[in-house]
Amino acid sequence: MKPTRPFHQTPVIAIDGPTASGKGTVATLVAAQLGFHLLDSGALYRLAALASLRYEIAPDAADDLAALVGDLHITFREGCAQLDGVDVSNEIRAEEIGNRASAIAVHQAVRAALVARQRAFRKEPGLVADGRDMGTVIFPDAPLKVFLTASVEARAARRYKQLIQKGFSANMDDLLRDLRERDARDSNRAVAPLKPAADAKLLDTSALTIDQAVDQVVQWYQAQ
């Protein structure tokens, strides 16, 4: 029987970046190609945001939000995000939920409540984790850290396409404004601000296809 590596040696590819930079799709495809587990940390925050809306907990009620997060029944099965046993994969992708997730993520108590849940995804043979602080806070010892970015115009166009495909209404001007506001909030928050890890590899996906971005990440990992 092949011996299991110590926890800290289980490989992690941390992929961080702003909203609609392509990190979720890239992370999913990289994980599939390498046969690794996948952590969509953004989905965890969106699930928390959806639950806070359902339980009528205000985005600025940090202690109540942290208590709620600790009690949430969250599962990921076959690509579906479930809250209390119900598939809410499409519901959590609404812009209202994304903006609310960004608002509650500024609270240290909320982020602390989700740390253990995120780190528990680190299992053999490896993990691809995407989010905003995977390389800086959650997995600072990851052997490969990638920071994906793209122009706000390119990201807005991608977000528009995603929303339309999922049956949501969308307005390009509203998306541009929301992305700029979310970027500012995520980058300037006091706790775990959005920024590249000191040893992260930067990848601008503005002019890249998804396949090109995936190939680059896989090449970086194989070169480690």
Query: pLDDT per residue over 110-145, tens digit each?
Result: 989 999 889 999 999 999 999 989 999 999 999 999
Confidence of residue 88 (pLDDT cuts 50, 70, 90): very high
- Tell me the mean pLDDT in the region 192-216: 93
205 is in an annotated binding site: no
Sheet with 86-87, side-by-side order of all strands: 74-77, 80-83, 86-87
140 is in an annotated binding site: no
Q: Is the pTM of this model over 0.75?
A: yes
> In whole numbers, what is the pLDDT of the chain averaged over residues?
90
- Tell me the mean pLDDT in the region 23-32: 93
- Alpha-carbon distance values, 122 to 63, 87, 119, 219 (Å): 27, 23, 6, 21
Residue 1: its pLDDT value, please?
Answer: 44
- pLDDT tens for 159-202 read 898 888 888 888 999 999 999 998 888 888 877 788 999 999 99
Confidence of residue 8 (pLDDT cuts 50, 70, 90): low
2 is in an annotated binding site: no
Confidence of residue 3 (pLDDT cuts 50, 70, 90): very low
18 is in an annotated binding site: yes
Domains of the chain with CATH codes: 10-218 (3.40.50.300)
20 is in an annotated binding site: yes
75 is in an annotated binding site: no
SS3 43: helix
112 is in an annotated binding site: no
Non-local (6+) Cβ contacts of 105 within 8 A are 45, 111, 132, 186, 189
Residue 78: its pLDDT value, please?
Answer: 66
